[in-house]
């Protein structure tokens, strides 16, 4: 392959249900899409266990990554020829948009909690390691993979480029909100992206929005707020995640304690041992995980078999909401009562917290500084969005958190030990 980038003789077009068409004109981008690391994303769902709540949510990280690339391409078209935009950054932006999620594993966030992995670290490892992706990127120069990685990690000196892929209004968020809304069938995540793109302007260190587009941005912020609480934090989805987490923890526990599996989990062994190579990581996808869940449903360990059956056949945990008073006064006793009826509370009684900050103003010095969205006023001065918008001010800086306790309701309604089970249900009902 020749070094550098060439334009394709004929533009490649992907039909897309969200953006209608995704256009590829650069040989570099086309070759990155064709790498085995990128193709693996076809086998990793975008929304993890959400398909058990919204049956249409079968879309993948592959779909989303192409969508983010397309939004980035359209942003660049708007920026072309404007002050502060350097056309030499075009391919860096496009490659970053395409590869920003390449390190995600199966059921990514649940998987990371159990095995202490981080998809951003694996994204860097895949981009910088001995991979097909790295070989394609290095055609642009030996430093190009490092630049792509730094943009994704938000450490690149070009803050404008970083903000295009990672900010409170970026190509990533604008795709996943619309795509997730489309595939789940909800109406919350829709907003006027075309309008937002038209009023975006590049500055030295960030993307800003012309003040005439403020109402479109308000709609975007509220769409994000609604999607988090109606889709991403849906209690049924969280129930499935709880069970998934417990399956992986149980399998890891059994492995580390010398349990003899009927089918040795060779794909997961490096994760159990904590010694994972790039090759090990890339072999794992959701098809592999589902295979092991089906095998483990027949295992002799009752807890592992039961949890796998629950996940595969959607026999999920019920939930109740609770507060800090409950934890202080009832938690220890509830655990003991579960043990008394022969149910292990470590796997069948689970506290889950969810929280979201839909929009935040600038808080310098905090662990995760969020650059606010700035409006470009008619006098060319910048004004922070929540200072201008009453709608955004109402939710700005306000973190919403809820607490749920998940448990297997079916076990509590089976014959035997009725008095103990009645006591548990009375505690759970508050």
Rounded Cα–Cα distance for residues 137 and 139 (Å): 5
pTM: 0.94
Give one DSSP letter per residue of 96-142, joined into a string: HHHHTTTT--TTHHHHHHHHT--HHHHHHHHHHSSSHHHHHHGGG-T
The segments of the chain whose pLDDT lies below 50 read 1, 362-367, 369
What pLDDT score was predicted for residue 360?
A: 64
CATH class of 7-231: mainly alpha
Q: Are the CB atoms for 191 and 383 separated by under 8 Å?
A: no
Q: What is the pLDDT of residue 141?
A: 97
Sequence ranges of the domains in the chain: 7-231, 235-354+403-429
Q: Which two tokens stand for residue 107?
A: 């059921």
Closest CA to 372 of 381, 358, 385, 382: 385
CB 150 within 8 A of CB 99: no
DSSP output for 34-98: TSHHHHGGGGSBSSGGGGGTSTT---BHHHHHHHHHHHHHHHHHHHTTSTT--GGGHHHHHHHHH
Q: Does domain 235-354+403-429 have CATH number 1.20.1250.30?
A: yes
Task: Output the pLDDT for position 357.
Answer: 72
């Amino acid at each position: 392959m020749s070094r550098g980038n060439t334009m394709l003789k004929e533009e490649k077009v992907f039909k897309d249900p969200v953006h209608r068409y995704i256009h590829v004109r650069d040989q570099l981008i086309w070759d990155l899409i064709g790498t085995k690391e990128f193709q693996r994303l076809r086998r990793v769902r975008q929304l993890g266990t959400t398909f058990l709540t919204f049956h249409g949510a079968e879309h993948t990280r592959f779909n989303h990554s192409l969508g983010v690339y397309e939004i980035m391409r359209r942003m660049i078209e708007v920026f072309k020829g404007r002050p502060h935009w350097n056309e030499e950054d075009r391919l860096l932006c496009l490659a970053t948009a395409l590869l920003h999620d390449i390190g995600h594993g199966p059921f990514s966030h649940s998987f990371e909690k159990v095995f202490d992995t981080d998809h951003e670290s694996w994204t860097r490892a895949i981009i910088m390691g001995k991979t097909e992706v790295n070989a394609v990127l290095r055609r642009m120069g030996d430093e190009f993979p490092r630049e792509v990685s730094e943009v994704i990690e938000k450490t690149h000196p070009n803050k404008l480029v970083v903000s295009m892929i990672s900010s409170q209004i970026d190509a990533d968020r604008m795709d996943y909100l619309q795509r997730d809304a489309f595939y789940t069938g909800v109406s919350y995540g829709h907003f006027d992206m075309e309008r937002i793109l038209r009023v975006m302007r590049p500055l030295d260190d960030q993307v800003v929005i012309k003040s005439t587009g403020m109402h479109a941005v308000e709609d975007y912020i509220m769409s994000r707020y609604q999607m988090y609480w109606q889709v991403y934090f849906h209690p049924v989805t969280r129930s499935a995640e709880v069970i998934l987490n417990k399956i992986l923890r149980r399998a890891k526990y059994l492995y580390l304690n010398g349990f003899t599996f009927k089918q040795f989990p060779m794909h997961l062994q490096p994760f159990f041992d904590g010694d994972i190579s790039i090759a090990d990581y890339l072999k794992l996808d959701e098809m592999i995980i589902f295979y092991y869940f089906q095998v483990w449903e027949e295992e002799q360990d009752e807890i592992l078999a039961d949890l796998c059956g629950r996940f595969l056949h959607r026999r999920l945990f019920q939930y109740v909401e609770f507060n800090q008073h409950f934890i202080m006064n009832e938690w220890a006793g509830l655990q003991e009562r579960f043990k008394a009826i022969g149910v292990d509370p470590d796997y069948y009684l689970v506290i889950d917290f969810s929280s979201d900050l839909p929009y935040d103003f600038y808080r310098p010095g905090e662990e995760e500084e969020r650059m606010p969205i700035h409006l470009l006023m008619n006098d060319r001065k910048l004004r922070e969005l929540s200072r201008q918008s009453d709608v955004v001010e109402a939710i700005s800086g306000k973190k919403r958190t809820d607490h749920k306790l998940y448990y297997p309701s079916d076990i509590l309604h089976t014959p035997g030990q009725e008095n103990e089970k009645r006591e548990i249900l009375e505690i759970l009902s508050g």
